[in-house]
């Protein structure tokens, strides 16, 4: 996303020329540099930012600084500024993270942080990152993200958090592990000596020892209180009387002292302070626009020289901010003294920001002024830029802030509201918004009738966007219908969109055509789906949306796989990678998914090494190069590899994780993970779980058949055959046999050769169960003839010993003898056994760590991967790292083999 960066947020505050030196605190901060986190947590006005800026000025490490504000609660805005902060110490840093943030559909925050952490790990030096005002980040995603960040923090980075409140971080665990340095209110309070230095040397008051002690006692070393007291005393004749008059807690002192300070200022300065308190950032011309005065630059410089709670935000002293607590009290006084001015001040700020190209700030101040009509105008004008950068989340945030009746009379806003809701998965309100916009597009000959139907007036700010609405409405309706599973409606609306969208508007035309293809895919017409989807993706590519074109190649390959055309599917994946390379970005969005697809094809060809390497390559590309379902698809692919290696428990671990990652999207999921798990249970002999799955899904051998549930019904046939094998009931065998016959006919009619091959294999096994080998060889021979040209292997080998027996018989009877012999050869490593690199009893070349021994002990239990992670209180990614290290050291490639070798080496 092309998020504008506020450079003032990245400015490291420079130490003042007159400052109280605090060597005791600087020493503690230096001592904490080799820990993960320094937490400076204290109430407002205790000098957190001043201390941090003084420390980093003398720190021997590079320093990145990010001043946070309420707008950073938006994850994309925060992450964009975080990368920009790190780029202040390394110009070319964060290319992968930036690519992730620019993706049309951003990956999860944790995925982006993973990329960021990997890039930090590659830096050749250590540095400090300071996050100031962290208390404004009050959101669960922040808690989760920083827990993840600290868990995996590279040694190159030391994190400093300055905050008014304790963050929701595992502080107890960090303390116990020696990873935390803490500074609190009690640490930051001025000591009597520091208070004396501040009052007499910095503020130049010349107070007696007793007077300084009294002030220090009254304020309890609270720095803001001392500063305000000093400002109030400047020019007073009776200082002892003033000191005696105030007391109480910090908030009382602050209110009292600010009032004292304000009353002692000339009216122009007092008004300047109050009226500019609405601004997050102070800039001379901006202040002039808000106050109607013409001395903004001079006023700000004068306030800084007078220690008047003004913090510079850049080296050139053009941008400032008030101390936050001071600004809060000023704002409260403004509402008391000039309540009728507040909205006007925000409106002036909005106009200035609009004139200077900052739509976000202009909209924010219009909303604060409750000038909703102006805010709506600004949002509509911002839509083209938001659309180009796919900032649906920001668009939705603004639209929700506007009164609904105002949005409803603006058709452009209504349509884009629907689009943002659809992109965010909030489907229930999409149709209402589209219908509302459509009402304004309807024309009648009698304008009076129209006005009676629509009592308010339509508002259009962007005429070009307005003209595009009919086509966009049809595209969004088609997309909504597809998600809801209404194939007929998809066809209707997509064709309407093609009638409405101009020939040269390639992106919406391509989207509509692609939606037609997806609808055909859903109905089982694979050839028609491939043809239309390919046409749609060609139009999308013409529009310049290369990542979307790559995403389309993934779907096209999946269609070919369903048709049993594995070699063409591989060529489709390769063309997708070539398309990315031609545009100079080998890590373009979608490349990670392509490698996952290639891994699946290599696994089917029984090249498990290549399959694993493709998955590792996809991880190297980075999760930001994957689409939303990438992690789900990766876990399923790794589960299939584990299954091929004979590690059924490991396969279930990955399938369990995949189940939690799946979220519905426009593409079909014809291999639901619950059915994949059921197949593993059948292989493990866990018939009870398999039967429960069929019951929960409401599956029956008598069901009407559809492509969407074809895989589940084939799985049901396998469950029925297993039940027959368990209790020898002919009822289950008959049900399975009849179901397989109906499935075969449907798959053949739909040209779904991949399904045809599997159904024929299951039919062969069913007849073999009945002891009729000649009858079993009939469907097996058909399956072999269909599978041989495309190089299928695992679809046969995964069936285990019964299939091996049938293939031996096929060789004897000269049925595809060469192919059958090749398949029989693949059974030698179907259990996950690989030639050992060393004798199983030979000592390890590298010992296991204590943590790896803990993991190994739990691998020998029935606990799943997620259960082991919870037991050890680590993330699943950390557990995988430990497991990979164990496999490498033991020179094995599955959980079962690791346990066997550990037993031989007496590691338990």
Q: Tell me: the pLDDT tens digits for 93-107?
A: 888 888 777 765 556
> How many C-beta neighbours within 10 Å does residue 384 have?
12
The Cα 305–Cα 284 span in angstroms is 15
pLDDT the model gives residue 237: 73
Phi, psi (deg, nearest 5) at residue 752: -95, 75
Q: Which of 762, 732, 728 is nearest to 747 (CA)?
A: 762
| Tens-place pLDDT, residues 823-840 | 998 986 444 333 333 444
**Residue 25 in this model has a pLDDT that exceeds 50:** yes
Find the mean pLDDT for residues 514-522. 91
415-419, 660-664, 716-720: lowest mean pLDDT where?
A: 660-664
* pLDDT tens digit sequence for 775-823: 999 999 999 999 999 999 999 999 998 999 999 999 999 999 999 999 9
**pLDDT at residue number 900:** 81
Query: pLDDT tens digits for 371-383?
Result: 999 999 999 998 8
| Distance separating alpha carbons of residues 581 and 175, to the nearest angstrom | 48
Q: What angle do CA 532, 535, 540 make, to 5 degrees?
A: 125
Closest CA to 458 of 412, 400, 416: 412
What is the residue whose two structure tokens read 């629509």? 454
CA angle 507, 514, 438 (to 5 degrees): 65
474: left (phi over 0), alpha (psi -120 to 50) or beta: alpha
Tell me the pLDDT tens digit for each residue of 152-177: 899 999 999 999 888 888 888 888 88
Q: What is the mean pLDDT of residues 544-568?
A: 88
The rounded percent of the chain whose pLDDT value lies above 90 is 42
Collect all residues with Cβ–Cβ distance below 8 Å to 173 and sequence separation of at least 6.
none
Q: What is the average pLDDT value for the chain, to the nearest integer? A: 85
43/251 Cα distance (integer angstroms): 11
pLDDT score of 389 more than 80: no
User: Scanning the structure block, which residue is given the tokens 């410089």?
Assistant: 301
* In contact, 298 and 357? CB cutoff 8 Å: no
Report the range of poorest mean pLDDT among 46-55, 341-350, 374-383, 846-855: 846-855
Domains along the chain? 7-188 (3.40.50.300), 192-249 (no CATH), 545-669 (1.25.40.10), 671-751 (no CATH), 764-833 (no CATH), 850-904 (1.10.10.10)
DSSP 161-215: EEESS--SS-HHHHHHTT-EEEE-HHHHSPPHHHHHIIIIIIS-----HHHHHHH
pLDDT of residue 861: 83
Band of residue 445 on the pLDDT scale cut at 50, 70, 90: very low
State the pLDDT at residue 843: 58
Cα dist. 111→146, 195, 547, 587, 638 in Å? Answer: 13, 47, 18, 15, 18
With cut-offs at 50, 70 and 90, classify the pLDDT of residue 451. Answer: very low
Q: What is the pLDDT of residue 844?
A: 65
Tokens at 58, concatenated: 């003398």
Taking every pair of Cα atoms in the chain, the longest distance, rounded to a whole number of angstroms, is 117
The single residue listed with the structure tokens 């739909």 is: 750
For the ranges 263-267, 499-503, 626-630, the maximum mean pLDDT occurs at 499-503
Rounded Cα distance between 536 and 516, Å, is 9
Tokens representing residue 116 in the block: 């960021």
- d(CA 154, CA 176) in angstroms, rounded, equals 19
With cut-offs at 50, 70 and 90, classify the pLDDT of residue 467: confident
pLDDT surpassing 50 at residue 257: yes
- Residues 403-415 have a mean pLDDT of 91
What does the pLDDT read at residue 452? 47
Digit-coded pLDDT (tens) for 719-739: 999 999 888 778 999 999 999
Burial 519-545 (b: 16+ CB within 10 A, else e): bbbbbbbbebbbebbbbbbebbbebeb
Predicted confidence at residue 799, as pLDDT, reads: 93
Q: Say which residues have a Cβ less than 8 Å from residue 772's Cβ, sequence separation at least 6.
A: none
Nearest CA to 894 among 680, 613, 609, 647?
647
Mean pLDDT value across residues 570-575: 94
Give the pLDDT score at 573. 93
The tens digit of pLDDT for each residue in 286-332 reads 999 999 988 899 989 888 876 676 878 887 788 998 877 678 778 88
More confident call, 247 vs 626: 626
Q: What is the pLDDT of residue 517?
A: 93
- Cα-flanking dihedrals φ and ψ of residue 63, to 5°? -130, 130
Contact predicate 96/115, CB 8 Å = yes
Residues 661 and 715: their CA atoms lie apart, in Å, by 22
CB atoms within 10 A of CB 439: 15
Residues 6+ apart with CB under 8 A from 748: 756
Euclidean distance between CA atoms 267 and 69, whole angstroms: 30
């Amino acid at each position: 996303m092309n998020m504008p960066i506020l450079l003032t947020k990245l400015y490291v505050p420079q130490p003042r020329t007159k400052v109280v030196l605090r060597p005791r605190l600087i020493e503690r901060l230096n001592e904490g540099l080799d820990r993960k986190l320094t937490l400076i947590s204290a109430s407002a006005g205790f000098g957190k930012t001043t201390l941090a800026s003084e420390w980093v000025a003398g720190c021997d490490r590079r320093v990145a600084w990010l001043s946070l504000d309420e707008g950073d609660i938006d994850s994309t805005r925060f992450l964009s500024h975080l990368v920009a902060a790190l780029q202040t110490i390394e110009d070319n840093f964060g290319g992968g993270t930036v690519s992730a943030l620019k993706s049309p559909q951003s990956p999860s925050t944790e995925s982006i942080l993973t990329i960021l952490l990997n890039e930090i790990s590659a830096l050749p030096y250590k540095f400090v990152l300071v996050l100031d005002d962290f208390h404004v980040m009050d959101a669960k995603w922040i808690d989760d993200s920083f827990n993840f960040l600290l868990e995996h923090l590279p040694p190159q980075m030391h994190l400093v958090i300055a905050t008014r409140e304790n963050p929701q971080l595992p502080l107890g665990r960090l303390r116990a592990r020696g990873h935390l340095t803490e500074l609190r209110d009690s640490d930051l309070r001025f000591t009597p000596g520091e208070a004396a230095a501040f009052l007499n040397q910095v503020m130049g008051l010349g107070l007696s020892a007793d007077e300084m002690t009294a002030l220090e006692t009254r304020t309890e070393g609270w720095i803001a209180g001392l500063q305000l007291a000093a400002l109030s005393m400047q020019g007073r004749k009776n200082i002892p009387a003033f000191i005696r008059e105030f007391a109480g807690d910090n908030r009382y002192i602050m209110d009292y002292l600010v009032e004292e300070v304000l009353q002692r200022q000339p009216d122009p300065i007092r008004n300047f302070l109050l009226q500019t308190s609405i601004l997050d950032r102070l800039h001379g011309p901006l202040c002039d626009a808000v106050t109607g005065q013409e001395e903004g630059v001079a006023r700000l410089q004068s306030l800084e020289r007078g220690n008047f709670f003004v913090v510079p935000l850049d080296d050139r002293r053009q941008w400032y901010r008030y101390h936050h607590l001071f600004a809060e009290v000023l704002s409260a006084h403004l509402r008391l003294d000039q309540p009728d001015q507040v909205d006007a001040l925000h409106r002036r700020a909005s106009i200035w920001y609009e004139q200077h190209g900052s739509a976000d700030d202009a909209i924010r101040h219009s909303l604060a002024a409750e000038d909703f009509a102006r805010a709506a105008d600004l949002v509509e004008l911002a839509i083209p830029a938001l659309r180009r950068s796919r900032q649906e989340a920001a668009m939705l945030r603004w639209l929700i802030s506007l009164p609904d009746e105002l949005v409803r009379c603006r058709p452009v806003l209504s349509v884009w509201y629907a689009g943002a809701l659809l992109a965010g998965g909030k489907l229930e309100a999409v149709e209402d918004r589209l219908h509302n916009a459509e009402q304004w597009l309807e024309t009648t000959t009698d304008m009076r009738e129209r006005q009676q139907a629509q009592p308010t007036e339509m508002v259009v700010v962007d005429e070009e966007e307005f003209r595009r609405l009919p086509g966009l409405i049809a595209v969004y309706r088609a997309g909504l219908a597809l998600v809801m599973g209404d194939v007929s409606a998809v066809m209707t609306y997509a064709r309407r969109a093609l009638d409405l969208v101009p020939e040269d508007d390639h992106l919406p035309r391509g989207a509509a055509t692609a939606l037609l293809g997806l609808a055909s895919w859903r109905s089982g017409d694979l050839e028609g789906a491939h043809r239309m989807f390919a046409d749609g993706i060609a139009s999308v590519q013409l529009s310049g949306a290369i990542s979307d074109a790559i995403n389309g190649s993934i779907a096209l390959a999946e269609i070919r796989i369903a048709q049993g055309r594995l070699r063409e599917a591989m060529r489709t994946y390769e063309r997708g990678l070539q398309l990315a390379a031609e545009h100079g970005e080998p890590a373009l969005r979608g490349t990670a998914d392509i490698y996952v697809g290639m891994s699946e094809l290599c696994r089917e060809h029984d090249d498990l090494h290549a399959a694993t390497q493709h998955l590792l390559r996809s991880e190297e590309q980075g999760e930001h190069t994957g689409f939303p379902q990438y992690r789900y698809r990766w876990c399923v692919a790794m589960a299939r590899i584990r299954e091929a290696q004979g590690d059924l428990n490991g396969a279930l671990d990955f399938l369990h994780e995949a189940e939690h990652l799946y979220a519905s999207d426009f593409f079909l999921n014809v291999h639901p993970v619950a059915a994949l798990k059921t197949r593993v249970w059948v292989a493990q002999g866990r018939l009870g779980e398999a039967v429960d799955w069929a019951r929960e899904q409401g599956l029956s051998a008598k069901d009407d058949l559809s492509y969407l549930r074809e895989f589940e019904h084939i799985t049901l046939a396998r469950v029925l055959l297993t039940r027959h094998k368990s209790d020898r009931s002919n009822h289950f065998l008959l049900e399975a046999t009849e179901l397989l016959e109906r499935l075969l006919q449907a798959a053949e009619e739909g040209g779904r050769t991949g399904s045809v091959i599997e159904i024929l294999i299951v039919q062969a096994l069913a007849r073999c169960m009945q002891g009729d080998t000649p009858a079993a060889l009939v469907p097996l021979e058909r399956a072999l003839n269909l599978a041989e040209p495309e190089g299928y292997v695992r679809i046969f080998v995964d069936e285990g010993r019964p299939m091996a027996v049938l293939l031996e018989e096929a060789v004897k009877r000269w049925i595809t003898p060469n192919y059958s012999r090749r398949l029989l050869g693949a059974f030698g490593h179907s259990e996950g056994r690989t030639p050992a690199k060393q004798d199983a009893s030979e000592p390890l070349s590298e010992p296991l760590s204590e943590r790896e021994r803990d993991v190994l002990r739990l691998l020998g239990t029935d606990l799943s991967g997620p259960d082991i992670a919870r037991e050890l209180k680590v993330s699943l990614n950390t557990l995988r790292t430990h497991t990979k290290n164990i496999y490498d050291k033991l020179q094995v490639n599955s959980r079962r083999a690791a346990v066997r070798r550990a037993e031989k080496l007496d590691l338990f």
